[in-house]
Amino acid sequence: MTEQLIKAEIRVEKVYLCPHHPEITGFCDCRKPKHGLIVQALKEYKIDPMCSILTGDKERDILAGQNAGTGKNLYIQPLLKKGVF
Ligand SMILES: [Zn+2]
């Protein structure tokens, strides 16, 4: 995904990944729909959540954005199915 964004001339500052799995490491705050990684990024880059747009292709992505208080949460799964991206 990062390569596709860079090809589209979108600068990627950092990628945040949840290293946990509920069955192996137990539950965490960063696995979606939890919003720990989003909050971490908002703090790290001093981003106003209300001025932010989250895109996701899973319902849990949108829930994570809503839990983090992002201003707009765009569900792009229908667009992916149409081949827009
Ligand atoms: Zn995690």
| CATH, residue 49 | 3.40.50.1000
Q: What's the pLDDT score for residue 26? A: 92
Mean pLDDT (the chain) is 93
Considering its fold, how many domains does the chain have in total?
Answer: 1
Judged against a pLDDT cut of 80, whether residue 80 lies above it is answered with yes
Report whether the peptide linkage leading into residue 33 is cis, meaning its omega lies within 30 degrees of zero: yes
Residues of the domain holding 52: 2-82
Q: What global pTM score does this model have?
A: 0.83
**What is the whole-number distance in angstroms between the Cα of residue 18 and the centre of ligand 1?**
4
Judged against a pLDDT cut of 90, whether residue 25 lies above it is answered with yes
Mean pLDDT of 25-44: 96
**What is the whole-number distance in angstroms between the Cα of residue 82 and the centre of ligand 1?**
31
**What is the whole-number distance in angstroms between the Cα of residue 85 and the centre of ligand 1?**
28
Judged against a pLDDT cut of 90, whether residue 81 lies above it is answered with no
Q: What's the pLDDT score for residue 17? A: 95
**What is the whole-number distance in angstroms between the Cα of residue 67 and the centre of ligand 1?**
15
